[in-house]
Amino acid sequence: MDFEHSNGEHPSVVLADICRRPEIKAQIIVFANEKGGVGKSTLAFHTSIALARSGSKVLAIDLDRRQQSFSRALENREATSRSLGIDLPSPQPIVLEHQTGAMLAQEIARVGAGATHIVIDVAGHDSPIARRAIAMADKLITPVNPTFIDLDSVAHFNAATMRFARLGRFAETVAELRAERCERGLPGTDWMLVKNRVRWAEKLQLKRFDSALDQLPAHLGVRLLSGLTERVAYRELFMFGLTHADCGDLPGMTNMTVRNSDEIIKFVGELDLKTPASPTANAVPRKQRMPAPSMKRYRQTLQRHVGSAIKSRETV
């Protein structure tokens, strides 16, 4: 596949760097898009927690050393676990401070020994380390908000006919790296496009956007996946490092009914990930008693921040 340009390192250089590193046996799941604010960290977080809850051993790598949204959510999860006195299944998080291919391989070997899955959250811009993560990916997930401005990094469309015109810059980079993988006889990367942060009230915009998305599998070789709708609950639970699946395991909140978790289950299922045949013991949090005053304070804090998202005996 030929392109007019190849900014940054040539794909052959990137793949040569990857191929001379030790083989990685874990399945590598990368969330990347050069457009920021599309929900990469949120989806990476939900995916890594779903895998951990299934019994997988997960290494979570945050390549966005400035924002660190992914790693901070996992730190908050550990804080919640300590505060409530329960075991929450979690991945092993790291932030890659020295962003080179050698350091990435070293940290995977050092921290991720025995991992079944590696989830990588890539910063929202092009960089040598972003290209290496994309080149390594078994699964590449690209979230896009349902606006044509946010879709520009992936594809451009004729404004009059709304027909596909050309690839966006990020899509060109991905296409080049995927082509180079094929040239070297490596397994193909399963690239998935996820429509994320959907607001169903914007029906006309969504109809036009969906029509554009439907053209992309033929031009980009991508799969279209279901994403998450725009909900306050996701943002507020994210602050505590929690997902909807965790809510029923929180002490004193076992009578809650959890709703809106079906789309998370559907999204993770569509990724078609390799998971253990049966959950391990760590897949079910071990509930422990904690002092009533501490539990009360933490629950009050949780409810104050989450608001209508979490209420005992009501719905999430």
Length in residues, the chain: 316
pLDDT one-digit tens code per residue, 58-110: 999 999 999 899 999 999 999 988 888 889 999 999 999 999 999 999 999 99
One-character DSSP codes across 72-97: HHHHHHHHHHHHHT------EEEE-S
* Residues with pLDDT less than 50, the chain: 1-6, 278-292, 307-316
The pTM of this model reads 0.85
Instruction: Report DSSP state, residue 22.
Output: P
pLDDT at residue number 239: 86
pLDDT at residue number 73: 95
**Across-strand partners of 167?**
155
Whether the Cβ atoms of residue 269 and residue 226 lie closer than 8 Å to each other:
no
pLDDT at residue number 285: 39
Task: Return d(Cα 88, Cα 58) in angstroms, integer.
Answer: 13
- C-alpha dist (Å) from residue 269 to 33, 87, 145, 189, 265: 21, 24, 21, 17, 6
Q: State residue 208 phi and psi, 5-degree precision.
A: -65, -40
Taking phi over 0 as left and psi of -120 to 50 as alpha, with beta for the rest, 60 belongs to beta
Task: Return d(Cα 88, Cα 284) in angstroms, integer.
Answer: 8
Helices in the chain by DSSP H: which ranges?
Answer: 11-19, 40-53, 69-84, 101-111, 128-136, 148-151, 169-183, 203-213, 216-220, 232-239, 244-247, 262-271, 292-306
pLDDT at residue number 14: 96
Question: Which has the closest alpha carbon to 106: 116, 96, 114, 115?
Answer: 96
Whether the Cβ atoms of residue 263 and residue 45 lie closer than 8 Å to each other:
no
pLDDT at residue number 201: 58
Question: Which has the closest alpha carbon to 60: 80, 25, 31, 34?
Answer: 31
pLDDT at residue number 236: 79
11-309: CATH architecture: 3-Layer(aba) Sandwich (3.40)
pLDDT at residue number 263: 84
Task: Return d(Cα 204, Cα 148) in angstroms, integer.
Answer: 13
pLDDT one-digit tens code per residue, 124-149: 999 999 999 999 999 999 999 888 88
Name the packing angle between helices 232-239 and 292-306 (round to 10°): 140
